[in-house]
Amino acid sequence: MGVAKIRKQSGRRRTILVLLVCIMFIYLNNSSFWVRTMPKRPFLVAHRGVHQTFPLAGIQWDTNTAARIYEPEHGYLENTLPSIAAAFSAGADLVEFDLQLTKDGKFAVIHDHRLDYRTNGQGGVGDYTMAELKKLDIGYGYTADGGRTFPLRGTGVGLMPSLDEVLTAFPGRSFLIHLKSNQPQLGPLLVEYLRTLPPEQLNLLTFYGSDEPLDAIKRAFPHLRVMSKRTIIRAVLSYLMVGWTGYVPPAMQNTHLHLPFRYARWLWGWPHRFLQRMEKVNTRIILVLGDGRWSEGFDTETDLALLPPNYSGGIWTNRIERIGPLVKGEGQ
């Protein structure tokens, strides 16, 4: 055998050895096998508090979901103080609610921009003062039978709260606040309001939604978690590029991320090593079902069974009144 051939074979062996070492490093560095897990229940995020749920089939961004609810099992209305209180009582660690800007520069807690979807008002939230919105019946438009009956009509008069009322009623609780518009004045006005909050309360708030107001919040309060479609994509793509090394890029640090369960399973280190990395960089991971487009949540016992054993990250649910007791029971 010639010297050149021997050298060629030797070089091939070294290349194969290097590749095997790299593969072994990537596997061991991202395996959850060596991560010590402690029994810990998932972090529960209650979407809209305890609320009237509805089928997601065929839903669009402008669908009037109040006109397609399931037959009511309780009398709670989303985005109200009783709804939020019930969610925390059921085991929620974080309650999500929606925020809109009023005519007089206040912050109303309501989902839809159009008032005629759920209330007996007309026009948009921004056409009314907070005091005027208080006079509306926010249970007016809910129907489970195509408009033949309205079982919650008359029960929601005066129940639309302001942001200030929510934070005053639950001073030590954590909230995820959905900014429902991209109005130029929303960000500056919200920043002005947030500056009045004590630091211990401000630090319990996370914001998501439209980019412009989120950018204003992040500039004023760099330590706060904010999330938008843009921040999720940037974070995930950057992590997919370098996460195999164990490094967590800046876009993935100190933030809040909603990840569809079907895709999260392909992230480096999933599940336990990944969650360990996120905890070290102060990032909160919330799993959602489906593709993440329509707020599909872990809403049944069957859904919970999909989670990895000893999963300690966050989960999104539309049925905290069902899921909270199940999860708390599992942790006992």
What is the C-alpha to C-alpha distance for residues 70 and 55, in angstroms, rounded to an integer?
Answer: 7
| 3-class DSSP string for the chain | CCHHHHHHHHHHHHHHHHHHHHHHHHHHHHCCCCCCCCCCCCEEEEECCCCCCCCCCCCCCCCCHHHHCCCCCCCCCCCCHHHHHHHHHHCCCEEEEEEEECCCCCEECCCCCEHHHCCCCCCEHHHCCHHHHCCCECCCCCCCCCCCCCCCCCCCECCCCEHHHHHHHCCCCEEEEEECCCCCCHHHHHHHHHCCCCHHHHCCEEEEECHHHHHHHHHHCCCCEEECHHHHHHHHHHHHHHHHHCCCCHHHCCCEEEEEHHHHCCCCCCCHHHHHHHHHCCCEEEEECCCCCCCCCCCCHHHHCCCCCCCCCEEEECCHHHHHHHHHHHCC
In this structure, the chain runs to a length of 332
- Catalytic (active site) residue 178: no
R_g of the chain, CA atoms, integer Å: 24
Q: How far is CA 90 from CA 48, 138, 322, in A?
A: 13, 23, 8
Structure tokens at 120: 């007996």
- Catalytic (active site) residue 111: yes
Q: Choose the catalytic residue: 51, 111, 178, 256.
A: 111
Q: Choose the catalytic residue: 47, 51, 178, 258.
A: 47
Residues with a catalytic annotation lie at 47, 111
